[in-house]
Amino acid sequence: MTGAKRDTRPTLTLKGDDFTPEFRSLLNKAAKKAGKTQAEFAAEALAAAARRVLSGNPDHNPTDNPAPAPAVLAQIEDTQKRQAETDAKLAALADQVRALTEMQRRGLWSRLFGGR
């Protein structure tokens, strides 16, 4: 090879059905968003996953579904309480509408047929 420098960087070739064009596109988008090349992004992600497996905690990823903070839990409980109160108010209103509708229906029957 004259004039061209041979690339001596280590390589890793992965082949499999999971490496679809969609996967490659996903990898490319994530790498761009992180400001890295696909190789840099993939190497860091694979190294982090390998460290988790080797540490005996393969499923643990702090960025996946972190435990909600107590303030968030309190806010959720408050929202659920308000939702239950709103549901009760709506049920009461629905009962009032049914009663009024029944009174109107009875009023019409009373006017048409007398009595009742």
Q: Where are the domains of the chain?
A: 12-64, 67-116
pLDDT tens string 5-61: 888 888 888 889 988 999 999 999 999 999 999 999 999 999 988 888 888 876 655
Quote the pTM value: 0.45
The DSSP output letter for 8 is -
The pLDDT-based confidence of 95 (bands split at 50, 70, 90) is very high
Phi, psi dihedrals of residue 6, rounded to the nearest 5° = -75, 135
65/81: higher pLDDT? 81
Mean pLDDT computed over 101-114: 74
% of the chain surpassing 90 pLDDT: 38
Terminal Cα distance for the chain, rounded? 108
Average pLDDT, the chain: 83
**What is the per-residue pLDDT for 88?**
94
**What is the per-residue pLDDT for 56?**
81
Q: Can you read off the two tokens belonging to residue 104?
A: 């109107």
> What span, in angstroms and rounded, lies between the C-alpha atoms of 64 and 69?
14
> What span, in angstroms and rounded, lies between the C-alpha atoms of 108 and 101?
11
The pLDDT-based confidence of 100 (bands split at 50, 70, 90) is confident
Spatial contact of 52 and 58, defined as CB atoms under 8 Å apart: yes
The DSSP output letter for 42 is H
Spatial contact of 42 and 27, defined as CB atoms under 8 Å apart: yes
DSSP annotation string for 82-99? HHHHHHHHHHHHHHHHHH
